[in-house]
Amino acid sequence: MSDAQLMHAEKMRSGEIAYEGKLLEARQSDWKDEFILLLLSAPIVMLSWAVFSDDPTAMEKMKLFFEYFSELPFWYQTIFVGVIASVYGLKATDLIKRK
């Protein structure tokens, strides 16, 4: 196994094989992770604002939002969890099986 790794490293050094670190560098400039994080954080920020502002209409709207969100079809929840899990490199099947 170590001989194969050594040969692979030598081929990368000589330029016969492209350096695999380029893939990692490309992933670091990817914006999907930040978008998903913002998407998931938005309801938490809105809920925090509704609680700390003492605005009863804002709190009622948040309750209504989470009520409707919990009534979404299972197929949509599965797709949503799958997309988020794939962005962060998690196994979506394990998360869905637990439910």
Judgement on whether residues 18 and 35 belong to the same structural domain of the protein: no
Orientation of helix 56-70 relative to helix 32-52, angle to 10°: 140
The b/e string for 50-69 (b: 16+ C-beta within 10 A; e otherwise) is beeeeeeebeeebeeeeeee
Judgement on whether residues 64 and 78 belong to the same structural domain of the protein: yes
Judgement on whether residues 15 and 40 belong to the same structural domain of the protein: no
Judgement on whether residues 35 and 83 belong to the same structural domain of the protein: yes
In angstroms, the CA 96 to CA 82 distance is 9
- pLDDT value of position 22: 55
* pLDDT less than 50: residues of the chain: none
Assign 10 to helix, strand or coil: helix
- pLDDT value of position 86: 76
What total of structural domains would you count in the chain? 2
pTM > 0.75: yes or no:
no
Judgement on whether residues 3 and 25 belong to the same structural domain of the protein: yes
Judgement on whether residues 37 and 84 belong to the same structural domain of the protein: yes
Question: What would the two tokens of residue 18 be?
Answer: 């492209």
- Can you give the residue range of the structural domain that contains 45? 31-98
